[in-house]
Amino acid sequence: MREIVVLSGSPSEFSRSEKVLKYLGSLLEQEHFSVTHISVKDVPYEDLFLGKYDSPAINEIASSIQNAQGVVVGSPVYKGAYSGVLKALLDVLPQDILQHTPVLPLMTGGSMSHLLAIEYTLKPVLATLKGYNLKGLYLLDSQIDKHKENPIVDVGILGRTKKQLYYFIELVNNQDAIVLPSY
């Protein structure tokens, strides 16, 4: 069974982006993937704050990601970028950890004015880790109801989400046949 890691970068207790990520995880499980959810909230504070790249928790996260055939990374927009705590986690992971790995980036934000945060902040850092980025998804808070099992209440963005997930699945399933760029 192919392994997918879903990584949540929200520090929020009742997180919209995490709820969307959980929903994507459930769709992937329906497609017979084995899904591991990881949240920045699961990582001991001192590992992140003191940059303990060799701590047991960080090693465990690193090996889950290294063993995955695909990774979904989500974050809220904070001050026009992805969350600082997600960066703290990415900073202590091994260099090139996403090499040859299809990555589906996702951000949620309160306003359309930071739509490009995914292009200018999240995708570049994932590319630095050598992930193979898909186009990605940006969802507005108004398109999400975190109390619903399927939290994506806007039909248009739900359609785009499923389309992106389908491309992601296709890439994960066919990655042995594809030569992914390594740069």
Residues lying near ligand FMN in the complex (CB under 6 A): 10, 12, 15-18, 76-80, 108-111, 114, 141
Nearest residue (CB) to ligand FMN, 140 versus 180: 140
Judge contact between 127 and 133, C-beta under 8 A.
yes
Which of 144, 118, 130, 155 shows the shortest CA–CA distance to 22?
144
Q: How far is the CB of 114 from ligand FMN (least distance, A)?
A: 4
Judge contact between 101 and 67, C-beta under 8 A.
no
Nearest residue (CB) to ligand FMN, 69 versus 143: 143
Nearest residue (CB) to ligand FMN, 117 versus 126: 117
Q: What is the per-residue burial (b if ≥16 Cβ within 10 Å, else e) of 24-58?
A: bbebbeeeebebbbbbbeebeeebbeeebeebebb
Q: How far is the CB of 94 from ligand FMN (least distance, A)?
A: 26
Distance of CA 89 to the CA centre of its chain: 12
Q: How far is the CB of 119 from ligand FMN (least distance, A)?
A: 14
Nearest residue (CB) to ligand FMN, 11 versus 94: 11
Q: How far is the CB of 6 from ligand FMN (least distance, A)?
A: 13
Residue nearest to ligand FMN (CB): 76
Please, how many CA atoms are within 13 Å of residue 55, restricted to the half-sphere of its CB? 17
